[in-house]
Amino acid sequence: MMTLAAVSCKTNSEEEMEIKNLLIVVDVQRDFFDPSGALYVPGSEVLPEKIAALADNYDAVVFTLDWHPGNHCSFAAQGGIWPSHCVAFTQGAGLPDCFAKTLARGEKQVQIFLKGQESDKEQYGAFEELDSEGVIYNWLKNSEKIDVCGIAGDYCVKESTANLLKYVPAEKISVLVDCVRSIDDGSTLDKFISDNSLSKK
C-alpha cells in the first residue's frame, strides 16, 4: 500500500501545481489509533474513518509516519519515555485500511513523509528540515490553505504544525481539531493554536 519511493521523489518546475487545499495527516498509525496499539491515544480509533471521509475534498494529502529503528532513543529500553512503537515496517507503523482509496491517488496528489528514523534523535515535528527542491516543500509554498489533523495533538501534531510556520504564514494554516486526539485533555494544542493565531476548524 505504501510507496516509499515517493519519499525521495523530486518535482521539477513544470510539474508544480497550484493547490487550493492541502491536508496534512500526522501519524495516524496503528500503534496510536488502535486500542491494542503500543502507544494508543484514547479516542483516536474514530480518526481513520473521519479523515478518510474528508480526504477526497483536498487537492493533495501528506501522510507523516513515525518510523523508528528498533533501538530508537525514545523507547523505554533505551532510557526514553515511550514504549516501543512504530518500528519501521511493522504492523504497528502501518496506516489504516480505509486510507487505501486516498493512497491510490498516487504520488502527484499524495505523499508519505517519514520521521524519527535516526536512532539517537527524538523527532516529534515531521518538517524540521525540508529539502527546498522536494515535493512537500513545493506543495507548502503553492498551497492556498493547509489543514492539519492527526495524533497526538500535544506532541507530533503540535510540533509538525510549528515546523510548518517556518515555511508558510499562520493565516494559511488551520487545525482540524475534530480530527485530532491528544494524550492530554487537548489544552496543550489549544494553547499552541491561540499563541500562534492559527485557525481551528
Closer residue to Zn ion in complex, CB, 74/111? 74
CB of 71 to Zn ion, least distance (A): 13
Omega before 152 cis (within 30°)?
yes
Q: 73 to each of 27, 35, 89, 149, 182, how far by Cα in Å?
A: 18, 24, 18, 26, 22
CB of 46 to Zn ion, least distance (A): 21
CA dihedral 163, 192, 144, 127 (to 10 degrees): 10
Closer residue to Zn ion in complex, CB, 109/119? 119
* By the rule CB under 5 A, 34 interacts with Zn ion: no
CB of 74 to Zn ion, least distance (A): 5
Q: Residues 118, 166, 48, 107: is their CA dihedral positive or negative?
A: negative
Q: Which residue number has the CB closest to Zn ion?
A: 66
* Amino acid in position 172: K
Q: How many chain residues touch Zn ion (CB under 5 A)? A: 2
Closer residue to Zn ion in complex, CB, 125/135? 125
Burial 23-60 (b: 16+ CB within 10 A, else e): bbbbbbbbbbbbeebbbbbeebbebbeebbebbeebbb
Phi/psi for 71 (5° steps) reads -110, 35
Q: Return the residues of window 104-133 that contact Zn ion according to CB under 5 A.
A: 116
**Binding string, residues 61-90; x marks residues near Zn ion by CB under 5 A:** -----x------------------------
What is the Cα–Cα distance from 191 to 174, expressed in whole angstroms? 14
CB of 8 to Zn ion, least distance (A): 21
CB of 99 to Zn ion, least distance (A): 19
Which residues are paired to 66 by β-bridges? 115
**Binding string, residues 44-63; x marks residues near Zn ion by CB under 5 A:** --------------------
Which residues form the interface with Zn ion (CB under 5 A)? 66, 116
